[in-house]
Each structure stands twice: as structure tokens, then as C-alpha cells.
């Protein structure tokens, strides 16, 4: 859990996610931004770099030029929960999350972090960072038995070792793992 900017962002529980998206985030823009981070496992900077043209045919395209490391373009399908959030957010052409007119072309990472901190404060959750959504998404996929190679394709990690550091292992998962041993 992140404390004073140190450590990894917290993995959010189902209840915390529900409360964040219903009570914490106040605008359709904020729900759309962090919904993209959660449902695609992307980094907040990748979501902020999106153009409205990057969303079409039921998928989001994260262009190579806007991903960390700039290794390859990723295309991620839009699940129904995210589609609903995007439907509430009135998209205009250009930047998906525009900044202040005349000041910044798009919403900044600093502002996205402030939006998240304010939302977490409203619902009383600590240890959350913008990266929590990515860690939560990847951990949920892993817990659901999705193969690591598939998760790697979605997340864009260049190697499995880096991806594995993101994933949280719960005490229940450890108990289940050792319970299958025997003869």
C-alpha cells in the first residue's frame, strides 16, 4: 500500500471500486478516465493521451507513441461496464480528456492524481494511487485464471517478471494452492 508517496498503489476491493465509481468520482469524465484505467489495465498517462479517434469498433487503441517504452500498439476490447461509462461521458473530437483551455492540451497526470485523491478522501479509502487501477485489473485477471501471457498482451509488459511484481497473492489463494497437494 502506498504511504506518503512510497510503496505500491493499493489493490482495490470490489466494494472500494463500487464506492469510488458511485460516490467518489463526481463527474462522467472522472468515471470514464479511471474506468479506462481499470477495465483496460492501462497507465493513467496512457489514458490521458487518448484521442477520441482511438475509441472505435468496441475497442480502445493505445498507440505505440503514447505507451511506456513505446514498444508496440495495444488494442483492448471495451467490456460492457466501461462502455456504459463512456456512454455517459460526452465525447468531443480531439483529446479524450481535454485540459484547461489555453493552458494544457489535455488533463495532466497531476490533475488526475488530485481527482483521485479527492475521490478517495470522500469515501475514506487510503493508500490508493493512479496505478492502483492497473494493479487491481491485472490482479483480478490473474485471480480469475487468465493466463499470464494473455494478461501481458493486455498490459503491454515487455516481460513476465515485471508483470508478476504487479500481481498480489492473497492468503486465500495460497491456502487453495497448497490444498491441491497430496495423494
Angle, helices 28-40/109-123, rounded to nearest 10 degrees: 100
d(C-alpha 29, C-alpha 108), whole Å: 13
Question: What domains are there in the chain, each with its CATH number?
Answer: 14-174 (1.10.443.10)
pLDDT of 4 reads 55
* Residues 98-137 pLDDT 10s: 887 656 778 999 999 999 999 999 999 999 999 899 889 8
Contact between residue 6 and residue 120 where contact means Cβ atoms under 8 Å apart: no
pTM of the model: 0.83
Ranges of residues in the chain whose predicted pLDDT is under 50: none
Q: Which three cell numbers stand for residue 97?
A: 480528456
User: What pLDDT, on a 0 to 100 scale, did the predictor assign at position 67?
Assistant: 64
Amino acid at each position: 500500500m502506498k504511504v506518503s508517496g512510497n510503496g505500491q498503489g493499493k489493490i482495490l476491493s470490489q466494494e472500494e471500486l463500487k464506492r469510488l465509481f458511485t460516490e467518489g468520482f463526481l463527474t462522467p469524465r472522472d468515471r470514464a478516465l479511471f474506468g479506462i484505467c481499470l477495465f483496460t489495465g492501462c497507465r493513467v498517462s496512457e489514458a490521458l493521451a487518448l484521442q477520441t479517434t482511438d475509441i472505435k469498433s468496441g475497442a480502445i487503441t493505445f498507440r505505440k507513441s503514447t505507451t511506456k517504452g513505446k514498444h508496440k500498439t495495444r488494442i483492448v476490447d471495451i467490456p460492457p461496464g466501461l462502455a456504459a461509462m463512456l456512454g455517459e461521458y460526452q465525447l468531443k473530437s480531439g483529446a479524450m480528456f481535454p485540459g484547461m483551455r489555453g493552458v494544457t492540451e489535455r488533463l495532466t497526470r497531476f490533475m488526475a492524481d488530485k481527482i483521485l485523491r479527492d475521490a478517495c478522501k470522500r469515501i475514506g479509502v487510503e493508500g490508493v494511487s493512479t496505478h492502483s487501477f492497473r494493479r487491481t485489473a491485472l490482479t483480478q485477471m490473474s485471480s480469475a485464471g487468465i493466463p499470464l501471457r494473455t494478461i501481458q498482451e493486455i498490459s503491454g509488459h515487455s516481460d513476465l517478471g515485471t508483470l508478476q511484481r504487479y500481481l498480489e497473492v492473497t492468503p486465500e489463494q495460497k491456502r487453495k494452492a497448497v490444498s491441491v497437494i497430496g495423494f
